[in-house]
A and B are shown apart, each in its own frame.
Chain A
Amino acid sequence: MPATKTNNRPEELTERLSSAASGGGGGDGGLLKALREVKNQIIGNRTKKLWYLKLGAVPTIVSILSSAADSDSAVIVQAAAALGSFACGVDAGVRAVLDGGAMPILVRLLSNCDEKVVDACARSLRMVFQSKLAPKYDILEEKNMHFLLSLLNNENDNVTELAASIITHSCETTAEQEALCDNGVLQRLIALLEGSTNQRDAGLDSLAAIMKSNSDVVSKLVTFNNGRALNSIIELVKDRCPRTRLLACICLIFIGNACTDHLKEFDINTELILVLVELFEEPGRAGDEAPYALANLIAGKEDLHKQAFSVNAVEKLCNFLHKKAIEAKRLQGILLALAELCSKLEICRTKSLSLKVLDIVIGALKHDCTEVRIAACTCLRSISRSLKSLSAGHLLNETAATSLIQLLHNQSTEVQVAALGAVCNVVVDFTTRKSVFLRHGGAKELVQLSRSMDSKLRLNAVRALRNLLFLADKIVKENILQELTISTLASLVCDAEASIQEQAMALIRNLVDGSVDCIDHIFAEDGVIITAVARQLWGATVPVCIQGMYVLSNVAAGNDFHKDAVMHHILLPHDTGSDSSILLRFLQNNDGRLRTAAIWCVINLTYPCNCTASERVTRLRTSGVVSQIKSMVNDPCLDVKHRVRTALEQCTVGGINSA
């Protein structure tokens, strides 16, 4: 017994294969036996696959396949099946099969006259095309399109399913979608819906690929055969097979996203939500992918969030999170669906928190799989939109703080951006919890990232710092500023990206909000920050100017020195010779938010706290600001209208005093 056993060790089997491949000994019977043994060892067995890959078995099997006579069906079937198995579920296996040059040989063998050979080769090719690593098949090339059509029209089910998976894998651009449509692929795929379960699933999967975000293709499908195609997809939502239900849902989501009119008469969304939520329970791919489909369906639509909530979607997702040992793919989907649901509705957030998932989400920040960590960040970010929970200090505990900070120096930018998104929200904490984040070195990490070369990281880091400074106490502010430095802050105000300028302005606005001491910071180092802010007001975009004006408004709430500096900057005439000041220009701006910010600045400058206020009112009057404000008493923007009244009252009182 032990003797035969040793003969089947991977090392020896690989040896036998390669000596047979190079023509040496064993005879064909031995080769066939060895191939079949390898195939049976690796199917379902990841460890063995990796072992054989290391031994270099794949190139050997490819060479056996390429040198086999077309009539040697038995050897071809075993070799093709073994290659297909290597390509199933193991990335290194897919690479080995591709690098070994197996694809053209398998494709050639699709025209073999033995049905068993065709079956085996079609299955193996399909395995490869189900992997992300497979090369994209160039559909736009004419001869490729012909070949694809010939596969689709083949009588062998495995071959048509192969064609469908090539389409699913390779059809990405609008041009490709339309080329397939124009060549009759749409009709052919619709015809597959009448076939067996496998044919139907393959058809639905490919239909989704050629309809995705393409309203032209969608309307072709919807009007096809008087709407019969659409009706059969709608019917398949109720199919007995879970995978079919899922794929039919995905098709309808794409149809609805391309154009809501098509599905109006069906009120399909309610049904889709119900079916998808039910699918959560299914094992395998249907259950794994249902949460992603739900998230896609309800993305950004508050009414659908409500519907999903009313059929207990939040509860079900949370219950899953409590289960032990959920696979990464499923966990990621659940977190993303929950993130979507919690992004708008407070009831969903409250429900999630009451079902005690917060610790699980925080735990998932440390998951082995990058995608899960990103999903956990997204979920935490949505849940932490709850002002109620934030102000109660429920969200930022020690574990969350340390895990998030750790993710900030992750290697992947995507992880860092997702973590920053969560940090942005959790640090807007009204209680003393900010200190938890600071104690673990969070500010240092954020400052590091605010100097990143990657603008996405810079943007999100500055936004997080801005929120960290929101209503922060004096000591926190000083700590952060020391870390950040005056010069970095000044250069962020002048960043190449407008969105970063805006966040930097908003950061300074929070910094100078409050005590007079804090205002002094932006006059430090020869006033480099206030100069930068003022300079930006001349040329920056409206959102940047709005934040900039609020910086000046906050500074104008300081002492006489501060107020004079603001007066100086906002009354400077435009240097291109026009005599209109920056303040006048903003008061006349089309954007109500900018007018509001400008009026606030005037209010703070003219606040009647001491005798110097009247001097400023005089200056504002002589520079035409007061008469401009008078003309705004009926401003269409309510905010502006109310502030104008206050400003005018202050100016009048000041005016009388100065007279």
Chain B
Amino acid sequence: MASKKVITREEWEKKLNDVKIRKDDMNKLVMNFLVTEGYVEAAEKFRMESGTEPDIDLATITDRMAVKKAVQCGNVKDAIEKVNDLNPEILDTNPQLFFHLQQQRFIELIRDGKVEEALEFAQEELAPRGEENQAFLEELEKTVALLAFEDASSCPFGELLHISQRLKTASEVNAAILTSQSHEKDPKLPSLLKMLIWVQNQLDEKATYPRINDLSTAVLEDPTV
């Protein structure tokens, strides 16, 4: 511990001030976040205020958000049709995503108590996918287990009925649409924060310095010497 270098707040802040970050780059980061996460109105406003051009047509965000929202609300059939209108290749070349959407559709039928329709759907749409792919078959078996319980939420795979499952499916579609539009599927900002944490951990072994512990405020906290 004694051998660690101590950097005071003054020294640290001076060093930080010496790092020049271009405003343009900051703006691009913000725009990248807004676009990727689908905040279309904010992106539009930000474009007007900062003059930063998004790297994607903002109209496509609206379409993507409509798909995402449809899944989040349980209107999976609607979401599938919207994706197909956007770009038919997405679901044709991405069997895993297609299976997950169909699985979600099946889950929604169970949630609505439409057991007969659910069974028919599983037979006609899901079973052939299971035959094509071993991994799908295993997932399918778990999903169909929901039908075996009077109260589906008490099934060991009851978490499939949670809202979190919808969100998972929605973000998978969102990512696939972004990839099809040559856009990265994750915003850059969170990865930068991850890098910040990693770098601080590395530095901790060599020095004591004012650290950022709360990422939401980004306040520099004095080192405990």
B is bound to A: yes
The residues of A with any CB-CB pair to B shorter than 8 Å are: 36, 39-40, 43-47, 81, 84-85, 88-89, 123, 127, 196-199, 240, 283, 324-325, 327
Q: Does B25 contact A (CB under 8 A)?
A: no
Does B11 reach chain A (CB closer than 8 Å)?
A: no
B113 at the interface (CB under 8 A from A): no
* A81–B182 touching, CB < 8 Å: no
Return the CB mask of B165-202 against A: 1 if under 8 Å, else 0: 00000000000000110111000000000000000000
Which residues in A have their C-beta under 8 angstroms from that of B179?
197
A43, A47, A325: most-surrounded residue (chain B CB, <10 A): A43
Name 22 interchain pairs, CB-CB below 8 A, sorted by A. A36-B81, A39-B84, A40-B81, A43-B84, A43-B88, A44-B95, A45-B98, A47-B128, A84-B88, A85-B92, A88-B92, A88-B93, A89-B92, A89-B93, A127-B89, A196-B182, A197-B183, A198-B180, A199-B182, A325-B134, A325-B135, A327-B133
* B67 CB–A CB distance under 8 Å: no
B107 within 8 A of A: no
* B residues with CB within 8 A of A: 80-81, 84, 87-89, 91-96, 98, 125, 128, 132-135, 179-180, 182-184
Residues of B contacting A196 with CB < 8 Å? Answer: 182
Query: Within the complex, which residue of A36, A44, A84, A197 is in contact with B91, where a contact is CB–CB below 8 Å?
Result: A44
CA distance A46 to B89 in the complex (A): 14
Q: For A199, what are the chain B residues with a Cβ–Cβ distance below 8 Å?
A: 182
20 further A-B pairs in the complex, CB-CB below 8 A; given A45-B125, A81-B88: A36-B81, A39-B84, A40-B80, A40-B81, A43-B80, A43-B88, A43-B92, A44-B92, A44-B94, A44-B98, A84-B89, A85-B92, A88-B89, A89-B92, A123-B87, A196-B182, A240-B184, A324-B134, A325-B133, A327-B133
Q: What is the minimal beta-carbon distance from A52 to any residue of chain B, in angstroms?
A: 14
Prevailing SS type, chain B contact patch: helix
Q: How far is the CA of A538 from the CA of B153 in the complex (A)?
A: 88
Of B93, B179, B180, chain A has the most CB atoms within 10 Å of the CB of B93
Nearest neighbor of A325 in chain B, beta-carbon distance:
B134
Q: Roughly how many angstroms separate A240 CA and B179 CA in the complex, as a whole number?
A: 12
Given contacts A240-B184, A325-B134, contact A39 B125 (CB under 8 A): no
CB distance from A83 to the nearest CB of B (A): 10
Contact between B182 and A123 (Cβ–Cβ < 8 Å)? no
Instruction: Determine the chain A residues whose CB is within 8 A of the CB of B133 once the complex forms.
Output: 325, 327
- Least Cβ distance of B66 to chain A in Å? 16
Given the complex, which residues of A lie within 8 Å of B92, measured CB to CB?
43-44, 85, 88-89, 127
Q: A197 to chain B: which residues have CB within 8 Å?
A: 179, 182-183
The docked-state distance in angstroms from the alpha carbon of A199 to that of B89 is 16
Q: With A and B bound together, what is the CA distance between A143 and B134 in angstroms?
A: 48
Give me the 8 closest cross-chain CB pairs, A-B, nearest first.
A325-B134, A196-B182, A44-B98, A197-B182, A47-B128, A44-B91, A88-B92, A81-B88
Contact residues in A for B182 (Cβ distance below 8 Å): 196-199
Complex-state Cα separation, A49 to B207, whole angstroms: 63
CB neighbours of A198 from chain B (8 A): 180, 182
A40 and B84 contacting across the interface, CB-CB below 8 Å: yes
Please measure, in the bound complex, the distance between the C-alpha atom of A240 and the C-alpha atom of B134, giving whole angstroms.
Answer: 29
Closest to B184 in A: A240
Q: Given the complex, which residues of A lie within 8 Å of B180, measured CB to CB?
A: 198
Q: How far is the CA of A127 from the CA of B88 in the complex (A)?
A: 11
Give the distance in Å from the alpha carbon of A85 to the alpha carbon of B87 in the complex. Answer: 11
Q: Using Cβ atoms and an 8 Å threshold, which residues of chain A touch B96? A: 283
Closest-CB distance, A283 to chain B (whole angstroms): 8
**Which residues from B are CB-within-8-Å of A89?**
92-93
Enumerate chain A residues within 8 angstroms of B88, measured Cβ to Cβ: 39, 43, 81, 84-85, 123
In the bound complex, what is the Cα–Cα distance between A81 and B88 (angstroms)? Answer: 7
A45 to chain B: which residues have CB within 8 Å? Answer: 98, 125, 128
**Which residues on the B side are within 8 Å of A39 (C-beta)?**
84, 88
B-chain residues with CB within 8 Å of residue A325 when the two chains form the complex? 133-135
Q: How far is the CB of A118 from chain B (nearest CB, A)?
A: 14
Could you tell me the distance in whole angstroms from the C-beta of B54 to the nearest C-beta in chain A? 13
CB distance from B144 to the nearest CB of A (A): 18
Residues of A near B93 (CB, < 8 A) are 88-89
Q: How distant is B154 from chain A, measured CB to nearest CB, in Å?
A: 29
Bound Cα distance from A199 to B134, whole angstroms? 33
Contacting residues, chain B, for A47 (C-beta < 8 A): 128
Please measure, in the bound complex, the distance between the C-alpha atom of A324 and the C-alpha atom of B136, giving whole angstroms. Answer: 13
C-alpha spacing A599/B81, complex, angstroms: 82
Are A123 and B128 touching (Cβ within 8 A)?
Answer: no
What is the CA–CA distance of A346 and B6 in the complex, to the nearest angstrom?
54
Report A92 CB to chain B, min CB distance, Å: 15
* Distance between Cα atoms of A85 and B96 in the complex (Å): 17
With a CB–CB cut-off of 8 A, which chain B residues contact A327? 133
A45 vs B94: C-alpha distance when bound (angstroms)? 11
State how many angstroms separate the Cβ of B97 from the closest Cβ of chain A: 8
B182 smallest CB distance to A (angstroms):
3
Contacting pair B80 A46 (CB below 8 A) = no
Q: Shortest Cβ distance from A501 into chain B, in angstroms?
A: 49
* Interchain CB contact under 8 A, B132 and A123: no
Q: Give complex CA distance A81, B89 in Å.
A: 9
The minimal Cβ–Cβ distance linking A579 to chain B, given in whole angstroms, is 75
Q: Taking CB as reference atom, which chain B residue is nearest A50?
A: B128
- How many angstroms from the CA of A575 to the CA of B183 in the assembled complex? 81
Minimum distance in angstroms from A440 CB to a CB of chain B: 31
CA distance A89 to B132 in the complex (A): 13
A123 & B89 in contact (Cβ 8 Å cutoff): yes
